């Protein structure tokens, strides 16, 4: 007796994409409608994977352009605009042979996908650095300088140190490494996209912790950004220790 459709599906799943072509040939003559539908679904899946790999190849154009540099680091930040919480920078060096499917600008990804990719980046990256600057320091030196400071902190944590930085739009002062600023870089470079995910997930997790400390403000929902709910809470309850005084002076 031949294998059931469920058994064939399991065979496809266990073989991985590298074995699908052999399985197409193995079961191509099976005239059961369920098997034909199963093969069609895996062919469609393979087509989607090819499209995704092509997207990632295009998104690696800067990494290819600067391939003479051994250790290329992507830099990005999360939290320049919120009224509360820190600004967080991520620095990520990916191995040249590294493939992380669905890597993209963190703003284009669902929270669940960002969490999955965060874990994969942390597992596969050659080095990851995270820098964080809090509200008091932001008020003291302004958000742009605080962002630079967070980025320098993130870079300082990298081991090994990078040979080249691909930055999302900015040129970081007081850095000894060559830098390439890329406008909207988190959508154009896999290294910067990885850094954007590390920064965004790190900051979002922290804002969830702040939500437990200050549940009346809704930090779990708006992550400190200036939503109507957040502004109303500031006006009603006053600022917390994590609010940026220089950002909320019009509301207090």
- Which of 13-17, 46-50, 206-210 bottoms out in mean pLDDT, i.e. has the lowest? 13-17
Give the separation between CA 30 and CA 155, rounded to whole angstroms: 56
User: What residue has token string 């597992």?
Assistant: 123
Tell if the pTM clears 0.85, that is, is over it: yes
Predicted confidence band at 13 (pLDDT cuts at 50, 70, 90)? confident
Predicted confidence band at 8 (pLDDT cuts at 50, 70, 90)? confident
Q: What is the pLDDT of residues 61-107, one digit of tens each?
A: 999 999 999 999 999 999 999 999 999 999 999 999 899 999 999 99
Q: Which domains does the chain have, with CATH numbers?
A: 5-58 (no CATH), 67-246 (3.30.420.10)
User: What residue has token string 């959508």?
Assistant: 187
Residue 174: its pLDDT value, please? Answer: 96
Who's near 77: CB < 8 A, 6+ residues apart? Answer: 87, 88, 89, 90, 147, 150, 151, 168, 199
């Amino acid at each position: 007796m031949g294998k059931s459709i469920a058994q064939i599906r399991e065979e496809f799943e266990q073989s991985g994409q590298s074995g699908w072509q052999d399985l197409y040939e193995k079961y191509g003559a099976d005239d059961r409608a369920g098997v034909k539908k199963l093969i069609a679904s895996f062919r469609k899946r393979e087509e989607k994977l090819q499209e995704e790999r092509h997207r990632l190849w295009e998104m690696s154009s800067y990494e290819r352009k600067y391939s003479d540099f051994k250790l290329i680091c992507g830099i990005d930040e999360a939290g320049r605009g919120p009224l509360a919480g820190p600004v967080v920078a991520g620095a990520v060096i990916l191995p040249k042979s590294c493939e992380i499917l669905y890597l993209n600008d963190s703003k284009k990804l669902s929270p669940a996908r960002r969490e999955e990719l965060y874990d994969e980046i942390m597992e596969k990256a050659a080095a990851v650095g995270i820098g964080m600057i809090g509200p008091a320091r932001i008020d003291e030196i302004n958000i742009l300088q605080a962002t630079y400071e967070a980025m320098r902190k993130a870079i300082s944590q990298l081991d090994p140190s990078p040979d080249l930085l691909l930055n999302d739009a900015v040129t970081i002062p007081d850095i000894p490494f060559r830098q390439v600023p890329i406008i909207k870089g988190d959508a154009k470079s896999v290294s910067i996209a990885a850094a954007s995910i590390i920064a965004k997930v790190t900051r979002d997790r922290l804002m969830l912790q702040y939500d437990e400390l200050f549940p009346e403000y809704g930090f779990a929902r708006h992550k400190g950004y200036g939503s109507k709910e957040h502004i109303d809470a500031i006006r009603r309850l006053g600022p917390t220790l994590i609010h940026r005084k220089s950002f909320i002076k019009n509301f207090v």
